Each structure stands twice: as structure tokens, then as C-alpha cells.
Structure 1
Amino acid sequence: MRNVIHYNSWENKAPFGAIKVNQGVRIAVRTNEEYDVLNIKWVILKEDNVVGHIDLVEENRNYYQGEFNGFNETGLYFYYFEVDVNINGSYQKIFYGKSFEDGHTIEYSYENLNKYQITVHEDFEVPSWYKEGIMYNIFVDRFNNGNRNKKPSNPKPNSFIYGNWSDIPMYIKDKDGEIIRWDFYGGNLKGIIEKLPYLSKIGVTIIYLNPIFESSSNHKYNTGDYKKIDPMFGDEEILKELIDKASKRGINIILDGVFNHTGADSKYFNKFGNYDEVGAYQSEDSKYRPWYNFEGSKDNYKCWWGIKDLPNVNELNESYMDYIIYDVDSVINKWTGMGIKGWRLDVADELPTKFIKELRKELKNNDSDSVLIGEVWEDASNKISYGERRNYFVGDQLDSVMAYPFRNNIVSFLKGQITSNQLRNKFMTLKENYPKESFKSNLNIISSHDITRIKTELNYDNEMVKLAVATQMTFEGIPYIYYGDEAGLSGGTDPDNRRTYPWKNEDEDMIEFYKDSINTRKKYNALTNGDTDFIINNDDDIFGYIRFNDNGEKILVLINRSTEDKNINISLEENTLEVIDIKYSSKKYLEIISKNNDSFNLQIRPKSFNIFNVLNLVEV
């Protein structure tokens, strides 16, 4: 490929990344002296409509600049370059777009252009209690039973109760793979209240509960009644007690909102006649009938991913939106009014944009300090869902998403599938696409109820697990702890990733590591609120970055995934390094081999990490 022009959106665009509506953008492009460049056109689109054709101005020889001030609507904008060039007396038009690896330009055919993205958003702010928090996700049935006799409360008919808390979970299915008996251990809200001192002690400030509303299953994603706590978990009085007692410890509660589908066994659909309400399945005259999509017979209805137990709803149906969002006693208003500080939207990319916007409005009207989180598995700034480009981060939809890309990136690095610079590039791409508030509000997960637990994913190697956790606790975004990870819990795919918390059989060393890592994060403002500079180095095994804030605080983090000692040279002008006292880091093995002017040559032990406080030697 010909390198007629040189441009890097990470370095040659101001401001970097996403911008606020009506904010201008200026870029700079260099040309290759070997070519006779006649003109460079900067082409800007909003979706597929061209909104700007900017002829770049040659400021100096081989140096072109341009500015565009037409970003007057929120949404996603894209751009590329058209270059008119004289090659051996032949006039050609060459197209340049974004490399799939980093921010540099690559020559493309027009049909295959990979365009640069600019996210344009309203000015918005995510509550500080959330951005600066530590989230702990609890799958309620598997966390703790708070009953004195440790027996499950109000067991379901025709269900399976495990004989021992430590039993490995399994499904009881028929020959067609359908679950015929749900299994339970008996975890409940009282059990969470009982463990609040423990959660507070390790540093948790946010508890996110998987669904707690009445349902026939153990996971509760097949909602039976949005306005009733499942009797196995407790009741409204116990939930209120949990909210109040957690609040006294500086812990906020977030609920799971499953609004794309209900359960077939629900008061709304009532397929099995277990409710007094006339459900949509039972009668065309049911008030809930318009909520669902029937095609011909009552047994032919649309459902989530073809699972008949999860009939899809028409989220934009007027009565459904009233019930979930608008009514004085709507689902959102009822529980938020009780003190719930936010909602996590299940399968957010399957919810209509209007539904998310309206839910957010009502939520913020009820409590302006609340948060709305979405389950999105990819880059949430530009996800295409069912043919629609989603704009979750323009200021009127989601505050935060579950950062599955964070998990995918760090696991790929630790397993040797990508290099440190490839890892850096993946994070930089997200950082470029996300507004600052959104990137700082990312829920940085390494395990969840939908994926293999981190310990199992990393082949039960606790040293590698600690590298993942150390990155999670020092990175931009909110650390997300899936219950039991901190206690050394392992598990494959569902249902194995939903084992019970191993009370009295915890990995105490891992708990102390989590506690120490969280304390370190909270101690340094740069780790909770700061920005990030990534370190570029020639060693594929060393991933490094500096977290910094406006007050001059800088924290250097270095991760060595290899099984060998590694040396790395770090240039830090007019600074020195102080090892941060995190007892489970590799500081006791650290050697500062040499210091040459402003450069440090550091040795990092195998499968270890180091965290440094970068101290300014010059008095201000």
C-alpha cells in the first residue's frame, strides 16, 4: 500500500476522541514527500449523509490542517480522506480510512473504507458515588441464606433443593433439553444483610443484585411479577431493611431490570394458570394481550432467542410503558422510590431506543443521582442491533455498560493471544469512541453469571488471576466483582459459574489481595478519577500505563505476564518512583537496576505487577 498521507487520530486530532455537541474539531495531516499531492479532502458523514467536505489547507510544506464546526447534533459521525495525487503523470484519487489496529490511516478502496468515528454527545455527568465505586454482583440464591435454620424460605412447588450448600449446580432437563425442575440452594436477602459487614470490610460500595422479583426460576430472568419480591428471597420489608442498612455502610443497591421479555409463568402471560389474572396466553381479551406478539394460535408467540419460557414483549406498547415507566406506582417509580439507586437493563441492545430514553427520564426525575446501566457485550458506542445503529452514549440513554471488551482484552493478553501493544490499541480504540464520562463509568468485569469465571478461564493460576484483578483495580472504570471471585471460586459456563459462595472454605489469600487492591485504589485519587496514558514498549509481555489527575498525582502500573524476569526502561522527566505499599504486589522482588538522568531501568519478576507513585522532584 502507498503511504501518500500520514494521520493518526490518537495524535493528530484535537480534541481527542468523543466531543460535546457544537464543539469543533481540528486535524493535521502530513504528506509523503515522494508523492505530488494536489488536494486532500476531509469528508465527514453523519450516518450515511455527508455533512462536510473540507479541503485541507497546506500550512507548511507537506503539512495540512483543517477544522470542522458542524457537529451540531448528537450521534455518530464518521470521516475519511480523499487524496488527489499525481503519480508518474497520472492523476488518481486515493481513499484513506482508519487502520483496524490503531489510529493510523490506511489506504482502502472506496467500497471497503473503514471510517474514523467521532461520538458527539450532550454534556452529561455520571454520579460520583458510582464512578468512584466498587461494585459487587450477587446472584441471590447462591450467595448466603440468612435464615437461622439455613432452610430455604417458601420453596417452589416441584423444585429441587440441594442437600448441601457446597453441592455443584446442575440442571434437570427432559429429552428436548427443557428444564423440568428448577434447582435452589436458598440464598436470600436476609443472607445479604447478614454479610454486609464482610462486604463493607473488603471495600464494596455498590451491590448489584441479579433479578429479585417473583419468578419460577433460580435466576429470575423469567419475571412473574415485577412488583413483588420473590418469596424465596424475602419481601418488601426485608428489601427496605437491606437498602437502609447498606446505606448506613455507604453501600448503594442496584436492581436488574428485565424488560425485553417476561416469564411464560407470569401474571401477565399466565401460560400455566398459576396466577389469578387473566393472562395474554389465556385470552385475547386479557389486558396484557397487546404486550405480546401472537401469530395465529396462542402457542405461536415470539419469544427471546426462541426460548418458549421467555415471551417477548412490545416494549413501546402504551400500557406496558405506563406499567414499567410512567405510572405513579410504575415498576421504576415503586422500587426507586424505596431507595434503589439504579437499574441494570438486561439485553439493552434488544430494547428500543425510545424505551431506554423514556425510562432514563423517569428514573432521573425520581432520583437525579441514580444511574442506568446496560448489558452490552461489544463496543457500546457504535453497536448495530437488529439493523439499527445504537447511540447509547450521547447523553440521554445509558450512564454505563458492562465492559465485556475489558474482560476479553485482558484475558486475551494474559493468555498470550495478543501483545501488550495490541492490548493498548484495543483500549485506545474504546477510549477514542467513548465519551470521557462513559469510559470512566465502564463496569470492568472479569467474571459474570453469563461467562466462565476468571479463575477457570486462566487455568486456575492464581498469579494470573491477580494480574487481572490488579489491572481491574487500577484501570479507568468501575471494578466489578462477581460474588465469590474474591474467595477463589471457580466455574465454567452456566450453571457451573453460579456455584454457591464458599463460606468457611474461602481462599483467604485471595480475599486479602482483593481487599488490599481496593484499598490502594481508594487511597489514590488518580486511580478512581484520573485519566490514562499508555506506555508503548518493545516487550510483548509488559503492559503498562500511568493514571494521572489534574492535581499532579501519577500512578505507574506495570504488568508482566511472562514466566521470565523482564527489564523495562521508563522515561519520566524530573520524577522519581516510590513503590506503593500493596503487600501482594511483587514489590519485595523489585530492583531498580539503574537510573540514567530521567530514565529508569526496572526489573519485573515473572507473572507479577508493580504499582509506583510517580513523585515530582521539582517544587512547584
Structure 2
Amino acid sequence: MGNIIKYNSWEDKAPFGALKLNQSMRISISGNEDYNIRDISWVILKENVELSKISLIRESKKYYQGEFDGFSEVGVYFYYFEVDIEIDGQNQKKYYGKSIEDGSSCEYLYENLNKYQITVYDDYEVPNWYKEGILYHIFVDRFNNGNRTKKPNNPKKNSFIYGNWSDTPMYIKDNEGNVTRWDFHGGNLKGIIDKLGYLKKLGVSIIYLSPIFEASSNHKYDTGDYKKIDSMFGDEEIFKELIDKARKKGISIILDGVFSHTGADSKYFNKYGRYSEIGAYQSQSSKYSSWYDFEQYPNEYKCWWGVKELPNVNELDSSYMDYVIRDKDSVIKKWTSMGVKGWRLDVADELPTEFIKVLKQELKEVDKDAILAGEVWEDASNKISYGERRSYLLGNQLDSVMGYLFRQNVILFLKGEITSSHLNNRFMEIKENYPAEAFKSNLNLLGTHDVARIKTELNEDKDMVKLAVGIQMTFEGIPYIYYGDEAGLCGNVDPDNRRTYPWKNEDEDMIELYKEAINTRKKYDTLIYGDTQFINTKNDDVFAYMRYVEEEKVLVMINRSENTQNIELNFDENALEEIDIKNSSKKYLESIFRENNIFKIDLKPKNFRIFNLKNLIEV
């Protein structure tokens, strides 16, 4: 049996994608004239609860339409279609939902329905300074030591200091896998100050710092004191100097907020008695006791992923929320008032919805242009965490999320594991689910401290890395650079991905590519503000998309294969003007051939081309 109806949410729903509160929508469906269709119903649900069932209006023998006035509450909604048909004199009901491949409709058994999603949000706007930015993520201990002697500041007791800056990081662990001596290279805040000129020339406008507060480890995700800079990194005076000097260069600072747990070695828990205050581990009468959950006091307590050095906190505990968010001198207010322009929430999935909402509200009261980003590895529009449907992108929580899906999609394509068509569909699904502001604020990352470096992930194939950077710097969203990726650093997963920046041993060719790609992004408004149209090249190895805003259009084409690919596109006369980014176009590629309005474009092996378009007819 063929399909009884034809519908594609990417083409037949207006408006496309997520909806604002109370925004109406319209759908159009084609019916197969070979069937006696008696009725098509559009069924709308909130989770599994039916909210509305709309009988579509038959506009002609073939076409049906339906309208919905809009949703009065934010949330994630779903829909599918019920089709009543007559077959051999018998009435039958068929169910149509979303294909797992793209936005088209597919017939299902009711119990296996894959429903369409509608994200409904309260309209919001992310500050332009952020959307226009190039973000650079610094793991502080491994970036640069700004001391004249190059010796680390205030080494911690029982720690391991590397003899050379270029030494490969490693862990010193006991038989049970616990770290017994933390290792340090000696990077600090002065080191970042010294390299602000380099970052400015690279094109960076946002620095995101891994945690900088006092802690035992080199990574600082085991917070010891939220209100004190770790002495190995510097102090408040030096941090304020960093903020001020960065601001003068047009660079904003974002901090890492680790609020789902603290360190066991902290003023709050004080398991080892190293702090003068009475911690929750030491006494149940401690003012911090309500922050933690003890199953059997004092040695059995809830901790992050079973790591005893990271006791979980009760984020909604009133005194904890006061300390971190609400007090006049709260953690958020202290550092934001100093000039910090935003926060990235570690493991946002493990923070209660109410905690994030209150934090966002209080943050905006200190600085209305501050941003709140979150660590989310999956589709942030429909994520379910601990049995709860999360609502990160609905207007009163996160401005932005970590783009791990972007990274995954790009890598799968460049490694030949999916086709260009599949890549189109994967990106379209995110674009459909995310509010427009969230998609434009997505942090398009290729590497972080939690994954293998992009060069290692792509088998140290430099040409493939250049393709990844070409996509990253021309895509909708915010380019996110993990320190050292631009210098050609390799590294597998933690701790190998946390090697030191290779000062005086950089891959200068890669740095120049980053600089020129960033300059190109800033030159064309459409690469920052433009919408995206994905193009079906009819070639598995060639991924293409057009960025457009008003009259400006830019076409990006990427060939991952080992062979030259010949692509034909239909454009108006004199439509293409090539944009020259180092190693992408004119240096290696042949000219464009045109026959009538058909442009024949040769894409050399493992290379990309970028064009400025005018008077686009059809793609």
C-alpha cells in the first residue's frame, strides 16, 4: 500500500519550526487520489495528553489544510495525523507521523508512532555581543604561565609539577582509580593577560574559562571556595585586571559555574579539615549541612556519578540558593558585578529547572546583557533528564547550549559514516526544534576538555580538519574554539585532550586559516545574522548550504572525498563571486564553467569553496 497522505513539516507547516506563545500555525497535506479518504484529523498533544483534534478542510480533490490558533503555555508539544479511509466498503483508520529520516510523513502502527514535535517558547532575545562572537575556551592550567620565572604560583601540597611545559599530562592514581596526586603545568591568569593580543589577532571576542575558583584539582570542578580565585591561578586583583584589559580589546569573559556538586575538600564539606570553618562532613550542626544528602553520616553521602570527592548538593536548599544566587554578595552577583559577562552551567541536566530559572532572573538583574549557557549533550529542546522533560530553551532559562550535536554531525560526515543528505536532515531537525534565537546562539564546538581533539578525531588528517573549521566558521551559531585546536594540538580523551598550548611550536598554517576564516565570517553579515538553507547536491560527498539575509547570500560547499566532484547548480547569470579563504578556493581550484544558467563547479579533493551570491533563482 502506498502513502495515503503526503506531508513534510519542513515545507508544509507555516511558520517553519518552533512557535512563539500564542502564535498560530497552518499545515497543508496532499491526499492520494487513489484512495477514498473520508477524513484527515490533526491530533495535537502535550506529552501523551490529547489537547486538540482538528478535522482538516478539504480545499480541493487533493489538498487539505488546517489551522491552529496557538498555544497559551510554553512547552514541548507533539502531533500526528489520523486518516479515515474506505477500503472495500470498510472504514479503516491509518496513523501518520514523522519519518526517522527527515520531515516527511510515514505510516505507523499507533503504538509505534513517531510524532512530530513543536517547541513553544516565550519570545526572547540573546544579546548581540554574544551572537556575533567568536568564543575561545581556555583550560587555565594548560594555556600559559605569565610569571617571569615560569614557575607555578603557590604549588599545592602533595601535587606533581611537570618539569617541562610540553610534557604530556597524565594521572597518578591508586589501585582503585582515585587520583592520589594532582598534576599541574602552571598556567595562570597572568598568562592569559599576556596572550590577549594573540587572541585579539586571532579574532576572539569571548573567552570562556574553565573553573577558576579554589579547588584541589587542576581542572577545578571540585570547588573548594566559590568566592575565591585559586591561588595557583592568581587572585581577585589579577582577575579584575584580566577582565578590564580584555574589555579594552573587545573581549568578554564567561565563567564556568559548577553548582551541582562541590569538592569534598571544600570549606562547605571540609572532609579533610583543611578549612577553618566547620563543614558538613565534620558536624551535622554545620551551617552547610542542609546542602548535602547523607545516607549514613558521615561517610555515606550522595555524590556526582559515584565520585566520593564530589559530593552532590541540594540545589534548591534555601541557604544554598541564597549563597549562590540570591544574596547581595552571592557567587553569581559577586563575579558578575566585577565584569563577568556570563556563565556556562556545568552539567545543566543535573540542575533543577527552578534553580536555573532563578539564576537567570537574578543574573539579568545584575546585567541585562549577561548570558547563561549550559552543558547539554543532546537535543536541548526535548531532553528528558531524571524523568523530567527539560525546558532549557523556552525563554526563561538558557540563552545557549553546548553544540555537541554539531560536532557529532560534522565528524560523522567527514569520516564517511553519513551522507551529505543525512547531514542536511540532522541539522534540519535541530533547526526545526530550536527557537531561532537558540539556533543562532548554539555553541558550535569541535572540541572541549571532555572529548578527543578534532585533529585526533579526524585521524590527524589536516585537510579534513580544515573542512571542519570551514563549516564551523560559516555555520549558523557561535564558533567555539577549544584552546590549541587552532595551533594543531592533538589529544585523545582526558587527560590527553588537556595538553599545554604549544607556544613557539604552533602550526602556523592552521592559525592563519582560523584567522582568515574568522575575518571572512565578520566581513559578511549573513554569516553572523543570516538564516540557513541546506542544499541537496545529489552527491553523497558534497555538503552545501546557503546563508542569507536580505539581499546578501553566501554559498558554502564542502567536498570530503578523495576525488574531484563536479556539482551543477542553477543560478542567475553572473551570480557567483568567489570568496577566497586560505586553502579553500582560488589557491587550489579551477574556474567555474557556465552553460546558460547551469553553473558547473569543480570541487577538488577534500576542499571547500565559498561564494557570494546574487539573484539566486533555484537550487
Q: What range describes the TM-score normalised by the shorter chain of this pair? A: over 0.9
Post-superposition Cα deviations, 1:428-447, rounded to whole Å, max 9, x if no partner, equal 00000000000000000000
Q: CA deviation at 1:214?
A: 0.1
Letter in 2 for 1:92: Q
- Give the corresponding residue for 1:607: 606
Distance 1:459 1:52 in 2: 51
Distance 2:309 2:88 in 1: 67
Superposition pairs of residues 183-262 of structure 1, within 5 angstroms:
183-262=183-262
Post-superposition Cα deviations, 1:198-226, rounded to whole Å, max 9, x if no partner, equal 00001000000000000000000000000
The answer on whether the counterparts of 1:377 and 1:405 sit within 8 Å (CA) in structure 2 is yes
Distance 2:202 2:592 in 1: 35
- Give the corresponding residue for 1:271: 271
- Give the corresponding residue for 1:579: 578
Q: CA deviation at 1:598?
A: 2.4
Post-superposition Cα deviations, 1:350-403, rounded to whole Å, max 9, x if no partner, equal 100000000000000100001000000000000010111111111000000000
Distance 1:330 1:297 in 2: 28
The answer on whether the counterparts of 1:526 and 1:555 sit within 8 Å (CA) in structure 2 is yes
Post-superposition Cα deviations, 1:487-514, rounded to whole Å, max 9, x if no partner, equal 0000001000000000010000000010
Question: TM-score when scaled to structure 2?
Answer: 0.99
| Secondary structure of 2:393 counterpart | coil
| Secondary structure of 2:300 counterpart | coil
Identity of aligned residues (%): 69
The answer on whether the counterparts of 1:261 and 1:304 sit within 8 Å (CA) in structure 2 is yes
Letter in 1 for 2:112: N
| Secondary structure of 1:528 counterpart | helix
Distance 2:458 2:334 in 1: 42
| Secondary structure of 2:284 counterpart | coil
571-580 or 190-199, larger mean C-alpha shift:
571-580
Letter in 1 for 2:587: K
- Give the corresponding residue for 1:354: 354
5-14 or 32-41, larger mean C-alpha shift:
32-41
Q: Note if 1:562 corresponds to 2:592.
A: no
- Give the corresponding residue for 1:310: 310
Q: CA deviation at 1:111?
A: 1.1
- Give the corresponding residue for 2:93: 93
Superposition pairs of residues 171-182 of structure 1, within 5 angstroms:
171-182=171-182
- Extract unaligned runs of 5+ from structure 2: none
24-33 or 591-600, larger mean C-alpha shift:
591-600
Distance 1:573 1:39 in 2: 43
Q: Note if 1:289 corresponds to 2:289.
A: yes
The answer on whether the counterparts of 1:574 and 1:617 sit within 8 Å (CA) in structure 2 is no
The answer on whether the counterparts of 2:374 and 2:401 sit within 8 Å (CA) in structure 1 is yes
Post-superposition Cα deviations, 1:318-347, rounded to whole Å, max 9, x if no partner, equal 000000000000000000000000000000
- Give the corresponding residue for 2:341: 341
Relative distance call for 1:394 and 1:309 in structure 2 (3 A) is same
Q: CA deviation at 1:123?
A: 1.1
- Give the corresponding residue for 1:474: 474
Distance 2:539 2:88 in 1: 41
Distance 1:528 1:135 in 2: 13
| Secondary structure of 2:59 counterpart | strand
Post-superposition Cα deviations, 1:155-187, rounded to whole Å, max 9, x if no partner, equal 000000000000000000000010000000000
The answer on whether the counterparts of 1:52 and 1:68 sit within 8 Å (CA) in structure 2 is no
Distance 2:182 2:410 in 1: 35
Distance 1:434 1:243 in 2: 32
| Secondary structure of 2:426 counterpart | helix
The answer on whether the counterparts of 1:214 and 1:226 sit within 8 Å (CA) in structure 2 is yes
Q: Which 4+ stretches in 1 moved above 4 angstroms?
A: none
Distance 2:343 2:615 in 1: 42
Distance 1:365 1:48 in 2: 37
Q: CA deviation at 1:64?
A: 0.2
Letter in 1 for 2:105: T
| Secondary structure of 1:337 counterpart | helix
The answer on whether the counterparts of 1:2 and 1:107 sit within 8 Å (CA) in structure 2 is no
| Secondary structure of 2:614 counterpart | strand
The answer on whether the counterparts of 2:571 and 2:616 sit within 8 Å (CA) in structure 1 is no
Q: CA deviation at 1:411?
A: 0.2
Post-superposition Cα deviations, 1:211-246, rounded to whole Å, max 9, x if no partner, equal 000000000000000000000000000000000000
- Give the corresponding residue for 1:534: 534
136-145 or 589-598, larger mean C-alpha shift:
589-598
- Give the corresponding residue for 2:329: 329
Question: TM-score when scaled to structure 1?
Answer: 0.98
Distance 1:289 1:234 in 2: 30
The answer on whether the counterparts of 1:5 and 1:32 sit within 8 Å (CA) in structure 2 is yes
- Give the corresponding residue for 1:14: 14
The answer on whether the counterparts of 1:402 and 1:443 sit within 8 Å (CA) in structure 2 is yes
Q: CA deviation at 1:2?
A: 3.6
Distance 1:470 1:76 in 2: 33
- Extract unaligned runs of 5+ from structure 1: none
- Give the corresponding residue for 1:28: 28
The answer on whether the counterparts of 2:99 and 2:106 sit within 8 Å (CA) in structure 1 is yes
- Give the corresponding residue for 2:378: 378
Distance 2:384 2:590 in 1: 48
- Give the corresponding residue for 1:164: 164
Distance 1:574 1:225 in 2: 64
Q: CA deviation at 1:584?
A: 2.2
Distance 1:58 1:434 in 2: 31
Q: CA deviation at 1:86?
A: 1.1
Q: CA deviation at 1:592?
A: 4.0
Q: CA deviation at 1:572?
A: 1.9
Distance 1:190 1:567 in 2: 51
582-591 or 169-178, larger mean C-alpha shift:
582-591
Distance 1:302 1:571 in 2: 61
Q: CA deviation at 1:49?
A: 2.0
Distance 1:74 1:107 in 2: 29
The answer on whether the counterparts of 2:6 and 2:104 sit within 8 Å (CA) in structure 1 is yes
The answer on whether the counterparts of 1:446 and 1:480 sit within 8 Å (CA) in structure 2 is yes
- Give the corresponding residue for 2:516: 516
Letter in 2 for 1:510: M
**Aligned alpha-carbon RMSD (Å):** 1.0
